[in-house]
Amino acid sequence: MSTDLTEPALTLSTPADILAAVPYIVGFHPTDSLVVIGLAGRVGQGEMRVCARWNLPLQPGTLRPLAALFARESITHLVAVGYGPGASVTPAVDEVMSVARWCGVTLCEVLRAHQGRYWSYVCDLADCCPPDGTPYDTSVSQIAAEATVQGLVALPDRSTLEATIAPLPGPVRLSMRRATADAVTALRAGLAAAPDAGHFAQRFVADGLARVRTAIATSLSGGRVDDREAARLGLDLSVIRVRDEAWTLLDDAGQPAHLALWKDLTRRLEPRFVPPAASLLAMSAWRGGDCVLATIALERALAVNPDYSMANLLMHALQHLLSPKLLRDRMPSPAELDSAMGTPHAGWLLPLIGILDEKDEPAA
């Protein structure tokens, strides 16, 4: 079997090639996982349209949304790999194969990998696929070298990927804590001195919208906002209108810059201000095709605030294998947001005021 995965392209000729490629496609070496790769086009030269991963074992029925996904993305054939013992992999693989056959999707290869051996669910020839499995060593595959040359990275495990958006410790954390305290003090003083809370809210939102646009422009130029601006952005994004401005400004051309900005803020902001930035990071990652990073970012957001609506909305979309295009095409423009939400008023700041009273964990 030869499968061509485009943008970047990897030619997979054997089960060992598939096992070598999957970690680079999902971004880390999976364990206790099911990975499904859906392709469109001619068998042997397909374009990857879908890559989805689940933790194992799965609850029955978890994979039913694959049918709609296969239809929406015009999937013609697929490759699936389950990592772990047969007791957890086989039921999940059976469900994948059932959905694929019902949808008329060709099963190119379906594998189980465990402790340095693999088994095929689509081949029962003892000479090719012995009952006790076939040894494999991904380190000797040319695929790893090809993937590295094309800029793909395979981290050791999911926890290593989680660490790439974990809070920054040490001097960075102390500096951000001071900058956040200064921003909170200034906001409280401004609120206390304002003769008109509505007018104060209008100015706060206008400044926040401008700050978001400036931060995006800075990231587009390869720069990074300083701690003072980062702390003020954390407060700004707590207001839904300001957060949604950032969402509406995300486009395909600027996606890498948005990803860098929201990843940086997710790591630097004090925990209570993380959910908006982490949700924007998730949307940026999802739009770029990185569902794993998107899920991890949403887990960060929901760990701080389980009721954060944007994070819950995006997590629901990811879990049901929806396309980011569905949300992207429904996002209003900034002008439409202004028209729909009306003039800023004091009530817009209530969520932020509630956050100001929360306490962060001691600095590391």
Mean pLDDT, consecutive 10-residue stretches, the chain (364 aa), reads 44 84 90 93 77 92 91 92 96 96 94 95 83 85 75 86 94 95 94 91 94 96 96 96 92 91 98 96 90 94 95 90 75 80 84 80 50
| Domain end point (choices 109, 132, 157) | 157
Q: Are residues 131 and 240 in the same domain?
A: no
Classify residue 364: in a domain, yes or no: no
Domain boundary, last residue among 130, 157, 184: 157
Residues making up the chain, counted from first to last: 364
What pLDDT score was predicted for residue 129? 80
Residue 51, SS3? strand
Question: How many structural domains are present in the chain?
Answer: 2
Q: What angle do CA 296, 303, 363 make, to 5 degrees?
A: 100
Residues 39 and 64 in one domain: yes
Burial of 62 (0-12, 13-18, 19+ CB in 10 A): middle
Separation CA 11–CA 44 (nearest Å): 9
Task: State the pLDDT at residue 5.
Answer: 41
Structure tokens at 93: 């693989």
151/176 same-domain check: no
- Is the domain of 203 the same as that of 337? yes
What pLDDT, on a 0 to 100 scale, did the predictor assign at position 36? 95
Question: Is 197 found in the same domain as 329?
Answer: yes
Residue 251, pLDDT score: 86
Question: Which residues are CB-neighbours of 174 under 8 A, at least 6 positions away?
Answer: 363
Distances (CA, A) of 314 to 8, 176, 278, 329: 26, 28, 11, 14
Q: What is the pTM of this model?
A: 0.84
- CA gyration radius, the chain: 23
Q: Say if 361 falls within a structural domain.
A: no
Beta strand residue intervals within the chain, DSSP E: 3-5, 10-12, 33-40, 47-55, 77-83, 106-114, 117-120, 134-135
Q: Is 131 contained in some domain?
A: yes
Would you state the pLDDT for residue 2?
29
Q: Could you tell me if 68 and 15 lie in one domain?
A: yes
Planar angle of CA 297, 212, 205, nearest 5 degrees: 110
What is the predicted pLDDT for the residue at 351? 85
Tell me whether residue 108 is exposed, middle or buried, using C-beta atoms within 10 angstroms of its C-beta: 0 to 12, 13 to 18, 19 or more: buried
Q: Are 315 and 188 in the same domain?
A: yes
Where residue 129 sits, what CATH number does that domain have? 3.40.140
Domain encompassing residue 107: 3-157
| Distance from chain centroid for Cα 283 | 7
> Is 74 domain-assigned?
yes
Q: In whole angstroms, what is the distance from residue 268 CA to residue 226 CA?
A: 10
d(CA 94, CA 310): 34
One domain, residues 202 and 148: no
Question: Would you state the pLDDT for residue 363?
Answer: 45
Q: Among the three residues 123, 157, 191, which one is the final residue of a domain in this structure?
A: 157
Instruction: Assign 318 to helix, strand or coil.
Output: helix
Confidence (pLDDT) at 242: 95
**Is 165 within the bounds of a domain?**
no
pLDDT at 109: 93
Whether 92 and 187 share a structural domain: no
116 belongs to a structural domain: yes
Interatomic CA distance for residues 217 and 155, integer angstroms? 30
Amino acid at 175: S
Shared domain for 177 and 206, answered yes or no, is: yes
